[in-house]
Structure 1
Amino acid sequence: MGLALKKPSGVPGRSWPAIVIGMFVAFGGVLFGYDTGTINGILAMPYWRNQFSTGYTINGEPAITASQQSEIVSILSAGTFFGALGAAPIADFIGRRFSLITSCFVFIFGVILQTASTAIPMFVAGRFFAGFGVGLISALIPLYQSETSPKWIRGVIVGSYQFAITVGLLLAAIVNNATHNRDNSGSYRIPIAVQFAWALILIAGMLILPETPRYLIKRGRPEKAARSLAKLRRLPEDHEAIQDELAEITANHEYELTLGKASYLDCFKVGVRKRLATGCALQALQQLTGINFIFYYGTQYFQNSGIKNNFTISMITSAVNVGSTIPGLYAIDKFGRRPLLLVAPSACASPNS
């Protein structure tokens, strides 16, 4: 990682402010990872299953049906779908910073519903709104990171969002393991309510962080863009490097204006369709490796397999996930994106998979 973080010679100014900001904003990934990981354990908690059961039993014990379980898990993805679609217009309308703050409040609303719920309908509603907030955050954080980070470290900074997701999964496994034996509502309400802290930390940070220079140029505020970029690079506003980078941002924006207004339908035009298909295929195939099954249903699967310390096993799998992400952050800028994509899937295709 050290080599990946070494600034190339000839790059003016200081890069650490933008790196620190980018890494902090990546903290939003903890919201996504934690919310994903916490439902994994909650579904296997005896008290929760007794509280939310509608009469269905397994081996004489209260439980929920497979369809109810699928609804509770998948509704988060439905929320993230709509949140991700709405992120771009919201970010262009009120800015990257305030969009992230708004997204956190949407997420908090979903957490409130889940914490207060004692039946499946309200719990599902909370999952949807939390997912909607997560969808917004998932699109906005890489956008904010890419518009504030220096080019030479951009890959690591944007990749740190994925690292934060894995950390969130691990934190969820740890909290679930600590509360699952409680014979009261705290068994599931404590893991859910912890999410308030993650959202509030991100909100507090975004209140003091600068808006991105690109957004300010887009809104016709070059003076504020110069101040923002100068703060990020720790250089005077009239420094040559600041003016050159602003000129590049402005030129890119003006070029985009010459292309006219765009809509989601433009994603399917000739010349763009291949890129869209490639991106979607990469995401879909990554999901088809089966990793999300482990993080959504792993604890219950281990339990059904006869493993007694199923919550401990979930912590171990989450810890391995965190550790294996670190080499990826180093390799993404050291060796490039394509070689990493060619090599990494081999681990999923091992004979023991």
Structure 2
Amino acid sequence: MVGGAVISANPLKLDILSHKKCVAICAIATISTFQYGLDYSLVGGFMAMPGFLEVYGYYDDTTEAWAIDPTVQRLISSLMTIGTFVGSLMVGPFSSFMGRKFGLWGATILNFIATAVMLGTTSVGALYAARLILGVSVGWFLTFSQLYVHEVAPAHLRGITFAVYQAQLSIGSIVGASVDFGTAGIMNKNAYRIPLAVFFAAPTIQSICLFFFPETPRWLVAHGKEAEAEKSLRSLRNSNIDEHEFQAEFNEIRLSTREQVEQNKKALFLEMWRGTNLRRTGLSIAVICFHAANGSSWVNIYTTYYLSIAGVSDPFAYSLMVTCMGLLGVIISTLYVRVIDRRVIMLVGVLACGFSQLAQAIAWTVAPNTKESGQVIVAFICLFTFFYVAYAPYAWLLGGEYPNSALRGYVFGVATALNFLGNWLGTFTAPYFINPLDLDWGPKYGYIWFGSNMILAVFTWFYIPETRDRTLEEIHEMFEAKVPARKFKTYVCTGVEAYAAEGAGKDHLEEREKGAVRVNETEERV
């Protein structure tokens, strides 16, 4: 499962330097995912800033400190999630007509409007509206950027580009926590206005760069613009690419995408639930919802609470340390994503997250409300964050690889929306389990999430197909052939090889196949 070459029809050179231009484009196309991590980190810090609470909170004479009404606090957080949910559902129809680039530009415009309102208003009603609009913007940034990367990156480098995507998100969290840490002591509106201004940075850089990037070749082919698609693919590949390789890849994309569009001419939202598409849609939704099902939402939100239990003197600084553990996890993942199967990464990730949840629950069961158990919990929160972020980008990756090119926007949008709904549900229900006034489980809540992660592990073992180094067209052929999940890795795709041969010439393709066989035999001997 870990070693051995995947039997792939990918006609390109399987290195990084030959595709450095496309990797750079993907990195810039995902820079706006910085926004999600930024918001997640910034707004949580606002709730402890006197400058913010003076405007949107009230002064509590009993505690002689600024506070905020719980309803206002919940709405500020939940409206963002609702906006993200709604925005993700809109991705399918919007992307079908406007494309991936216009989706990112639309997200930028909404981001600018929402941020300007939050900077200029002192009305809680206007703040609510801005949070909702910002949620739509963030939902579009996340989904459209991933769709773009799925459809332009070479098959063997999609894992690397998604690691970059996750790194952008983690960096956003670190920047948000750092800016909050620096402005928390300001006793006026600038305490939160300075951090909010950071929301303009990443989308501005990305929106300018997008003028120089092409629309994805698969989207163009799906809309009958094959000449533009060839031009797009050529601009995404290095100028010195071997023409045989280029024509083989383009022909594979052109003919397979044309076939997929012909198979799905009716109402696309209905087509995604029919025939072989039903399996693909179900897998995409399931694997993307791994994010909500492993318990990350409640661990991340209540980290500061457990830091205080552990006797940590500076919770803000230690929260930043936990966030850095996530960045470390995704950086390390770039070292193995090209050589370890997707199934192994997912399996190890959910098992590690599950046992991290179990360790917290056991510690609290044995010694509740003690400094020692708090320290154990903080340690396993760090481990949970490391392993979660080390596998999280590849759940997104798999979720976008499974749908076909005609339906990818619809399926990915629905899957993303359901994931955010699951995250909201986890966040909303957590207080009832851990609050002393309700069930008072505290970290024993981890028992539930341990069980959830074990279910994810079983699902991964039996149902997740292996797609490492496979082109999107190969993945389509295997689903259409109804290949069982455990046989994806060894299945030989004949259809896409025939398409590639039409573009590159049979002699060239046969030589590549002989080379692939020799590589595979060498690895097996090793």
1:219 to 220, 223, 231: 223
Among all aligned residue pairs of Structure 1 and Structure 2, give the percentage whose two residues are the same amino acid.
25
Match 2:339 to one of 334, 337, 351: 334
RMSD over aligned Cα, in angstroms? 2.7
Match of 2:325?
320
In structure 2, relative to structure 1, the CA distance for the partners of 1:251 and 1:57 (3 Å cut) is farther
1:145-179 per-residue CA deviation (whole Å, 9 max, x = no partner) reads 12111111112213321221111111101111110
- Look at both structures and tell me which one has the larger radius of gyration over its CA atoms: 2
Conserved? CA contact 1:33–1:166, under 8 Å: yes
Q: Deviations over 1:224-271 (max 9, x none)?
A: 222221121124899332222222112122212222224334444465
- Residue 10 of structure 1 and its aligned partner are, at CA, apart by 6.3
Match of 1:72 among 55, 58, 76: 76
Distance change in 2, residues 1:100/1:60 (3 Å): same
The separation in 1 between residues aligned to 2:113 and 2:234, in whole angstroms, is: 36
Moved more, 64-73 or 261-270: 261-270
Gap regions ≥5 residues in structure 1: 1-7
Q: How far apart, in 1, do the equivalents of 2:242 and 2:342 lie?
A: 35
Q: Alpha-carbon deviation of 1:296?
A: 4.3
Whether 1:146 and 2:142 are equivalent positions in the alignment is no
- The AA in structure 2 aligned to 1:11 is K
Per-residue CA shift, 1:41-75, capped at 9, x if unaligned?
11111221222115667734231222321211111
Q: CA deviation at 1:304?
A: 8.5
Cα 1:196–1:57 shift into 2, 3 Å: farther
Cα separation, partners in 2 of 1:218 and 1:56, compared to 1, 3 Å? farther
1:34 aligns with 38
In the alignment, the residues of structure 2 paired with residue 289 and residue 135 of structure 1 have an alpha-carbon distance, to the nearest angstrom, of 21
Instruction: Name the CA shift for 1:302/1:155 in 2 (closer, same or farther; >3 Å).
Output: same
- CA shift for structure 1 position 325: 1.4
Taking the aligned partners of 1:180 and 1:347, their CA distance within structure 2 comes to 35
Q: Bigger shift: 255-264 or 35-44?
A: 255-264
1:76 & 1:57 partners in 2: Cα distance? 31
Q: Is the 8 A contact 1:163 1:326 kept in 2?
A: yes
Residue 17 of structure 2 is aligned to residue 11 of structure 1: no
Structure 2: how far apart are the matches of 1:57 and 1:329?
52
Q: Give the aligned partner of residue 246 of structure 1.
A: 250
2:509 equivalent in structure 1: none
Q: SS of 1:44's equivalent?
A: coil
Query: In structure 1, how many angstroms separate the alpha carbons of the residues matched to 2:283 and 2:63?
Result: 46
Q: Which amino acid aligns with 1:173?
A: A
Deviates more, 1:136-145 or 1:262-271: 262-271
Structure 1 residue 197, shift from structure 2 partner: 1.0
- Structure 2 gaps, min length 5: 1-9, 361-379, 381-526
Change (3 A) 1:30 1:15: same
Instruction: Please report how far the alpha carbon of residue 283 of structure 1 lies from its aligned counterpart in structure 2 after TM superposition.
Output: 3.9
Counterpart pick for 1:287 among 289, 292, 296: 292
Aligned to 1:4: none
Supply the AA of the counterpart residue of 1:337: R
Greater displacement, 220-229 / 270-279: 270-279
For these two proteins, the number of residue pairs brought into alignment is 346
Q: Distance in 2 between matches of 1:106 and 1:16?
A: 31
* 1: CA distance, partners of 2:62 / 2:112: 33
Q: Does residue 93 of structure 2 align to residue 83 of structure 1?
A: no
| 1:199 pairs with 2:203 | yes
More divergent stretch after superposition (113-122 vs 276-285): 276-285
Match of 2:96 among 92, 104, 108: 92
Report the alpha carbon displacement of residue 345 of structure 1 after superposing the two structures with TM: 2.5
Q: Residues 144 and 338 of structure 1: is their aligned pair in 2 closer, same or farther, counting only changes over 3 Å?
A: same
Q: Distance in 2 between matches of 1:224 and 1:10?
A: 21
Mapped partners of 1:75, 1:160: distance in 2 = 28
- The answer (yes or no) to whether the contact 2:50–2:188 under 8 Å persists in 1 is no
Q: Structure 1, residues 111-132: CA drift from partner, whole Å, max 9, x if none? A: 1122223232222211111110
Farther off after superposition, 203-212 or 187-196? 203-212
The 1:249/1:277 distance shift into structure 2, 3 A limit, reads closer
Partner of 1:163, secondary structure, is helix
Q: CA deviation at 1:306?
A: 6.7
Pick one of 337, 340, 343 that aligns with 2:348: 343
CA contact (8 A) 1:37 1:295 kept: no
Aligned match for 2:63, one of 56, 59, 66:
59
Match of 1:184 among 184, 188, 203: 188
1:195–1:324 CA distance, 2 compared to 1 (3 A): same
Q: How many angstroms does 1:81 deviate by?
A: 1.0
Q: Render the CA deviation track for 1:49-106: whole Å, top value 9, x for unaligned.
A: 2221156677342312223212111111111111111123222212222221121111
Q: Secondary structure at the match of 1:333?
A: coil
Change (3 A) 1:243 1:194: same
Measure the CA separation in 1 of the matches of 2:174 and 2:259: 43
Stretch deviating more after TM superposition (326-335 or 100-109): 326-335
Q: How does 1:294-305 map to 2 (within 5 A)?
A: 294-296=299-301, 298-299=303-304, 302=307
How far does residue 19 in structure 1 lie from its aligned partner after superposition?
Answer: 0.9
TM-score calculated relative to the size of structure 1: 0.88
Give the equivalent residue in structure 2 for 1:116: 120
